[in-house]
Amino acid sequence: MTDLLNLFADPAAANLQNLSPPVQTALVLGLTALIPIALMTTTCFTRVVIVLSFVRQGLGTQQVPPNLVLTGLAMFLTLFIMQPVFAEIDREALRPHVRRELNTVQALQKAADVHKRWMLRHTRKRDLALFIHLSGQTQIQEPEQTPFLTVVPAFVISELKTAFIMGFCVYLPFLMVDLVVSSVLTSMGMVMMPPVTISAPFKVLLFVLADGWHLVTHAVAASYG
């Protein structure tokens, strides 16, 4: 317990290699459990999976593609988009750590700084200012001075807003198809027939003819510059 308190009290002066084996094991297991949360909150996974979910919702195909397919596609798109960031972390933190130029804490700090710079590039100033204000950190003058744990929630709500804007743009054409089909059915007196039954094949056809998956994937990847 003393080792853990010292680590969190002064992480810059601590060295994970000097911790007792039980403490090292507990830290490794704890970090492993946080990997899924980190994937969803500190990478582009949130934006990608929400946009893909809007596509499926707009198509009205229920569970096609299945959740597993959408999640897998979102995961690999995340790895593809984040590849430059991971390469920089490998160059700036992992390789120097392997060469014993940086200890474990220094390498983790370097990797966090690289990742924080990427998150700041995709975080709205208004969202960042909100969490700086809530944290009461009035001494911050530059975005780079913001602590990592303050940047993460600001980045998440920025991603959510961007994802919903993109989802609206994706959903709008499908809504227009529903409106046209509904108007045609009403004019023909077929008010008892659900418009979704007729519009679903047309929406799928429109999506396929427009090469929708290509366009959506390109839009999501290009949104990160």
**178-216: per-residue pLDDT in tens?**
888 888 777 777 767 676 777 788 888 888 888 889 999
pLDDT recorded at residue 65 = 85
Mean pLDDT taken over the chain: 81
**1-33: per-residue pLDDT in tens?**
444 434 444 444 445 555 667 766 777 777 777
For residue 129, give every residue at least 6 positions away whose Cβ sits within 8 Å of its Cβ, in sequence order, or none.
none
- Check pLDDT > 80 for residue 155: yes
Taking the C-alpha atoms of residue 154 and residue 141, their distance in angstroms, rounded to an integer, is 17
Rg (CA), the chain: 23
Taking the C-alpha atoms of residue 174 and residue 127, their distance in angstroms, rounded to an integer, is 31
Taking the C-alpha atoms of residue 143 and residue 91, their distance in angstroms, rounded to an integer, is 23
pLDDT recorded at residue 9 = 40
pLDDT recorded at residue 214 = 92
Range of lowest pLDDT (6-15, 71-80, 94-103) = 6-15
Mean pLDDT of the 53-76 span: 87
Query: CB 220: neighbour CB atoms within 10 A?
Result: 24
Mean pLDDT of the 126-142 span: 84
- Check pLDDT > 80 for residue 75: yes
Res. 147 pLDDT band, cuts 50 70 90? confident
pLDDT recorded at residue 211 = 87
The pTM of the full predicted model, rounded to 2 decimals, is 0.78
Share of the chain above pLDDT 90, in %: 23
Mean pLDDT of the 37-58 span: 88
Strand ranges for 42-160 from DSSP E:
none
Q: Report how many helices (DSSP H) and strands (DSSP E) the chain contains, helices first.
A: 11, 0
Where exactly are the structural domains of the chain? 1-35
pLDDT recorded at residue 10 = 42
Taking the C-alpha atoms of residue 132 and residue 154, their distance in angstroms, rounded to an integer, is 9
pLDDT recorded at residue 24 = 66
Query: 97 vs 77, which has greater pLDDT?
Result: 77
Taking the C-alpha atoms of residue 140 and residue 120, their distance in angstroms, rounded to an integer, is 14
